[in-house]
Structure 1
Amino acid sequence: MRTLRSIRHRLGLLLALPTGALVVLGATGTAAQAGRWSAADRTDRQVALVAATEEFVHQIQRERGLTAGLLGGESGFRVQLTAQRTTADTSRRTLDDRLAAGPPGADRIRAALGRLDGLAALRGRADTGTATRAEALGFFTDAVTALDAAAFADRGGDGDQRLADALTTLHALAGATEAAALERGTLNGVLAAGAFRNGDYPAFVRIAAVKEAALARAPQTATAERADALAAALRSPAAVTVAGMEQQALDGLQGGRLPVAADDWWRAATALVDDLYRVQAQAAADASARAAALRGQALRTLLADAGLTLAAVAAAVLLGVAATRSITRPVAALVAGAEDLADRVLPRAVEDAQNGREAAAPALRTGAGATAELAALEAALGRVAGTALHLAVEQSVLRRNTTESLANLGRRNQALVTRQLGFLTALERGEHDPGALANLFELDHLATRMRRTAESLLVLVGEGSPRRWAHPVPLGDVIRASLGEVEDYRRVVLRRVDDALVDGSAVADTAHLLAELVENALAASPPDTDVEVFARLAEDGCLIAVLDRGPGLDEEELARANARLAGRESFLVGREGRLGHYVAGRLAERLGAAVRLGAAPVHGVSATVRLPAALVAPATSRAAAGGVPA
């Protein structure tokens, strides 16, 4: 969880929880509204399918009546029947087009339309007179009943009472219209035949009763407007005529031939059926309008909920971003100020203090709009910065004084040792006793080591070596001079040293650097082993290697030693007392050389020094080289 370490990400996570809960709640409400809109849209398309189905039912009801009249013996219906079949087929194609769109209930309507698969065959037998009236009436009535049942199989209204009442009214009116249309077709066939035959009379009475019951049910759930329209249709002249003809037909049962003409009955009954169908169509329009209103209302609510949810989420995100920025920006300003304090202000203040100038007081700024807590943090960090500046100036002054004291001490020691070496050299020249001369040589060697120690002190405080040579010096002489500055130099073996010249300005520092590495190698090696020195020329300079036979160093110790050699650690903070590493690192930096410790090929430690090509050249003329004084 590395990303949660920042204030920005933690605040983001903190604000993400309530924002996520808000999104879930908003999404749940929006999904519920989407479900209501989907249900309303489904109902709207379902009502439109019911209307299209009832239009087709109305056409085949008329074809049923004309077919019954033709089969009853009234040939005058043939022309009307032909035209009606064309109208019914057109209505069927319109219904099929609507079904192709896949509205709710389409599968049920398609299944009910299967009842009409034998329509073409029935029409052919009706034209040739081989079909019976009962067969034709039963075929069409079965299809109409199946279509009505499929159309009104789902009329719950999706919880809306007005829509449910409108669908119930539409269903009742469809039943009443079907009963009136069936009565029209049944009696049309009877009148065409001239009298009731077989079971015609009971069927006619039963149909009339069904019609009256359906007409009585329709006003129960109808609106006042639809109830008035139905009442007007039942009081129309066509309705009065139909009622009179019904009574005449019933009264004429005992007389044999009925006193009503089939053509007159057909016109009056068709006018009544058409009036009832218009009321039914109006009820269908009411249901469709209510469904469309519900869909529009659900859509508006859905859009409002979605908009509120998006607005709430956007507001939460904006507030979260603003809250995060109100914290992160001042903190970032403090961080930038602290970095500027560390990288520029404090070093400049230290430099001013070292040069005797007054150091400017540091200041940290969070910028406008910071909270009280951040303002307090700014004040606290400002005090910390002031204290840090004060301590840095004190340390700088202390370091300067310490450096000057050490440099003075080093120069004094170097002067004394140099005088001592001169005095010993004079004694050596005048001494002829071998024993005394050997003792003088030992004192000379000891003084030379003391001079290196004094020069090491000067190196640590940044002072240059006073020893300079005007001419290049052979690399072998430089290495031998370094051996003269270490104890137990007899254990050092020069394995291979290429013939090369070292620039005179780098001779003293190079010999001093090698003396520090060789002395460390001698200290790390057992007393009965040798330290080996190799020096090879290369295109990019000269590589000098010092190999000891000691126990070696682990990876952590090597890393710390290389850090000291690379100058990444001050000798003032070192705790291991290995000043030779710090001296070697300062000398390598001064020479532009690279010093590194590593594991030796067999065991022990290998110290390598890579002198740059500018300081080393192949020895082409030994006569041009100067010697290294003792």
Structure 2
Amino acid sequence: MRTLSSIRHRLALLLALPTGALVLLGAIGTAAQAGRFADAGRTGDRVALVVATEEFVHQLQRERGLTAGLLGGEESFRARVGPQREAADTARRALDRSLAADPPGAERVRAALAGLSTLAGLRGRADTGAADRAEALRFYTGAVTALNAAAFADRDTTGDRRLADALATLEALSRATEAAALERGTLSGVLAAGSFRGGDYPAFVRITADRGAALADVPRTALPERTAALDAALRSPAAVAAAGMEQQALDGWAAARLPVRADAWWQAATELVDGLYVVQSQAAGDASARAAELRSQALRALLVDAGLALAAAVGAVLLGLLATRSITRPVAALAAEAEELADRVLPEAVERAQTGGGAASPGAAAAAGTAELEVLGAALDRVAGTAVRLAVEQSVQRRNTARSLAGLGRRNQSLVMRQLGLLSALERSEQDPAALANLFELDHLATRMRRNAESLLVLVGEASPRHWPQPVALGDVVRSALGEVEDYRRVVLRRVDGVLVDGGAVAEVAHLLAELIENALTASPPDTDVEVFARLGVDGCLVVVTDHGPGLDESALDLANTRLAGRESFLVDGGGQLGLYVVGRLAERLGAVVRLSPAPVHGVTATVALPSALLADGVRPVPAVGVAG
């Protein structure tokens, strides 16, 4: 015990303490880095959602301007509205795909998209002229404002200054682009109508002021190259032309007819909006690149921490393996000896005992490298010897028991056969109907006793001594099975095809069917029938026995089918359902397949697939239709 304790003590010191400490520290560090990596991944997903949302917003802004111009009376816009709606729908589908991954902020964007539920109706009314220009501008502007607010709701929670500045720049450019796009749409409607009407002029002035404020916010957080790109977009020829048209509209705000054409304004303003959107897309690229950079940094840190933790753990394990090498090899040798005992020595000893041969003794266990393992090897030798002796004794007992049961079964069968012969002679000579009926009942009872004796022979592996020299019709085989069950009057033969069964298999087929019919009668109420069908098929004959009892649950059916398939010994059941084991043995011997399944309404259906090898050549021309048994 002292040496065994020292081995456990050394292994505990060499493996448990350092390995546990290293694994714990490594797990803590790796978990922290994994959290940072996950946060970086969520940030990247959030930025991707912002980009997809802004692309959809850009398409809605263009659709808003064309719709406003169309409703203002500019019919040349009608041809452009349809393709632009398709572009907006495509951007919406791309946004929906981004939302399907459920990135951070998805719920807010989904809530904002709910405001577009009536978009299809507005489009239809715009095509027919039933919608009002101011109504369309309010609808689209409300949707765009909600989407922008949802996209940038949590931009200050990233934890990284560079990414926060990139998102702030993107938001300012988004507001500037929206103001320019709204200005484009508003003035397009005004120019299509010819002049400012109602509240068009104050709204237009307010939009231009909003655009100027948003543009002034961009340089505060933007990279120098983004500021330069924005200045270039605002100094482009289209931007200059749009500014001139805008000033003309402001100067002539009270004129009955503004001196600017709607299509010319749309062209210049659209180039300006597109230029601003290009800068906005570049800012979105900056945010995406920073998010990807943060994710890469987190991944590198995670891999480094995981690698260090793994290296430390591997080093501890290697040291432990070196310390235990002198133990594992002898233990492996002992394990091999034990496997040899279980896989070869014991089965061979049992087989020799069953065939009447002598029992072999197991070899000595492999030599161990330490005193402790040498003691274990000697103990294994003793265990092996005892196991072989017990296995041989059990095998001999089973063999003798099987022989005794077979002898008892044959004696019972012989006595029952003599009893049946005597009863047959008495039946032929008896004239009194009452006495003859009693003799018939005794004959039926003796027939059932014969089946029980033959069941015992089947369970111990003996073949049935009864054979017919000629093939027998399947209907007669079924009726023979009915003669071996108690309540045969409740059995109805619905349809039995006139197929012939080979004479050598008649007794065993009848025995198999009798067991199934007996089970069906026992499982069903006494006032119901048990139905039997038999149909000839391409690969043999199918016999079906159906009862109308309460049926079996799924677990009970699985257990019964396991027994019918011969995958369980009848000794484990304690004699409760020996009939199923008898059917399984007979089915295996005949090459048949028997299976239980739920009946169509209620009850259980037993199907027996008899192979073609059991059928004689030739089929009766008229199928036999059964009646009540």
The 3-state SS of whatever aligns with 1:255 is coil
Structure 1 unaligned regions, length at least 5: 330-365, 368-630
Identify if the C-alpha distance between structure 1 residues 88 and 4 changes in structure 2 by more than 3 Å, giving closer, same or farther: farther
Summarize deviations over 1:333-379 as a string: whole Å, max 9, x none: xxxxxxxxxxxxxxxxxxxxxxxxxxxxxxxxx99xxxxxxxxxxxx
The 3-state SS of whatever aligns with 1:282 is helix
| Corresponding residue of 1:622 | none
The 3-state SS of whatever aligns with 1:166 is helix
Displaced runs of 4+ in structure 1, greater than 6 A? Answer: 1-4, 324-329
1:56 and 1:95 in contact (8 A); partners too? yes
CA distance in 2, matches of 1:86, 1:308: 53
CA distance in 2, matches of 1:296, 1:285: 16
| Corresponding residue of 2:512 | none
The 3-state SS of whatever aligns with 2:75 is coil
Summarize deviations over 1:468-498 as a string: whole Å, max 9, x none: xxxxxxxxxxxxxxxxxxxxxxxxxxxxxxx
CA distance in 1, matches of 2:92, 2:3: 67
CA distance in 2, matches of 1:279, 1:239: 14
Summarize deviations over 1:583-623 as a string: whole Å, max 9, x none: xxxxxxxxxxxxxxxxxxxxxxxxxxxxxxxxxxxxxxxxx
Superposition TM-score, scaled by structure 1 size: 0.50
Q: Aligned pair 1:60/2:60, yes or no? A: yes
1:191 and 1:261 in contact (8 A); partners too? yes
Deviation at 1:316, TM superposition (A): 2.3
Deviation at 1:323, TM superposition (A): 5.5
CA distance in 1, matches of 2:291, 2:216: 26
CA distance in 2, matches of 1:217, 1:22: 51
CA distance in 1, matches of 2:160, 2:87: 36
Q: Answer with 16-25 or 67-76: which moved more.
A: 16-25
| Corresponding residue of 1:475 | none
Deviation at 1:255, TM superposition (A): 2.6
CA distance in 1, matches of 2:190, 2:328: 95
Q: Aligned pair 1:175/2:142, yes or no? A: no
Q: Aligned pair 1:71/2:76, yes or no? A: no
| Corresponding residue of 2:98 | 98
What amino acid does structure 2 have at the position aligned with 1:112? A
Q: What is the root-mean-square deviation of aligned Cα atoms in Å?
A: 2.4
What amino acid does structure 2 have at the position aligned with 1:235? R
CA distance in 2, matches of 1:107, 1:4: 63
Identify if the C-alpha distance between structure 1 residues 40 and 3 changes in structure 2 by more than 3 Å, giving closer, same or farther: farther
Structure 2 unaligned regions, length at least 5: 330-368, 371-629
Deviation at 1:326, TM superposition (A): 9.7
Identify if the C-alpha distance between structure 1 residues 76 and 327 changes in structure 2 by more than 3 Å, giving closer, same or farther: closer
1:249 and 1:260 in contact (8 A); partners too? yes
Identify if the C-alpha distance between structure 1 residues 157 and 284 changes in structure 2 by more than 3 Å, giving closer, same or farther: farther
2:14 and 2:320 in contact (8 A); partners too? no
Identify if the C-alpha distance between structure 1 residues 279 and 3 changes in structure 2 by more than 3 Å, giving closer, same or farther: farther
Identify if the C-alpha distance between structure 1 residues 296 and 19 changes in structure 2 by more than 3 Å, giving closer, same or farther: same
Count of matched residue positions in the alignment of Structure 1 and Structure 2? 331
CA distance in 2, matches of 1:23, 1:224: 47
CA distance in 2, matches of 1:11, 1:100: 52
2:37 and 2:298 in contact (8 A); partners too? yes
The 3-state SS of whatever aligns with 1:21 is helix
Deviation at 1:319, TM superposition (A): 3.0
For residues 38-437 of structure 1, the aligned pairs below 5 Å read 38-156=38-156, 158-322=158-322
CA distance in 1, matches of 2:130, 2:291: 47
1:184 and 1:269 in contact (8 A); partners too? yes
CA distance in 2, matches of 1:194, 1:3: 106
Deviation at 1:149, TM superposition (A): 1.2
2:226 and 2:282 in contact (8 A); partners too? yes
| Corresponding residue of 1:34 | 34
Summarize deviations over 1:379-426 as a string: whole Å, max 9, x none: xxxxxxxxxxxxxxxxxxxxxxxxxxxxxxxxxxxxxxxxxxxxxxxx
2:180 and 2:273 in contact (8 A); partners too? yes
Bigger-Rg structure (1/2) = 1
1:155 and 1:164 in contact (8 A); partners too? yes
Superposition TM-score, scaled by structure 2 size: 0.50
Identify if the C-alpha distance between structure 1 residues 4 and 27 changes in structure 2 by more than 3 Å, giving closer, same or farther: farther
Summarize deviations over 1:125-180 as a string: whole Å, max 9, x none: 11111211111011001111111111111213632211111111111111111111
| Corresponding residue of 2:6 | 6
2:196 and 2:254 in contact (8 A); partners too? no
The 3-state SS of whatever aligns with 1:273 is helix
Identity %: 73
CA distance in 2, matches of 1:3, 1:67: 92
| Corresponding residue of 1:416 | none
1:163 and 1:287 in contact (8 A); partners too? yes
CA distance in 2, matches of 1:270, 1:114: 27
What amino acid does structure 2 have at the position aligned with 1:79? A
| Corresponding residue of 1:593 | none
1:157 and 1:163 in contact (8 A); partners too? no
CA distance in 1, matches of 2:3, 2:74: 93
The 3-state SS of whatever aligns with 2:93 is helix
CA distance in 2, matches of 1:146, 1:5: 73
Deviation at 1:2, TM superposition (A): 10
CA distance in 2, matches of 1:54, 1:246: 26
Summarize deviations over 1:79-121 as a string: whole Å, max 9, x none: 1112211111122122222222332222222221111100011
Summarize deviations over 1:245-282 as a string: whole Å, max 9, x none: 11111100133321111111111100000000011111
1:43 and 1:157 in contact (8 A); partners too? no
1:8 and 1:328 in contact (8 A); partners too? no
The 3-state SS of whatever aligns with 1:103 is coil
What amino acid does structure 2 have at the position aligned with 1:77? F
CA distance in 2, matches of 1:236, 1:85: 28
Deviation at 1:292, TM superposition (A): 1.1
Deviation at 1:320, TM superposition (A): 4.1
CA distance in 2, matches of 1:2, 1:177: 84
Deviation at 1:15, TM superposition (A): 4.6
The 3-state SS of whatever aligns with 1:159 is coil
CA distance in 1, matches of 2:145, 2:105: 16
CA distance in 2, matches of 1:107, 1:167: 19
What amino acid does structure 2 have at the position aligned with 1:197? R
| Corresponding residue of 1:620 | none
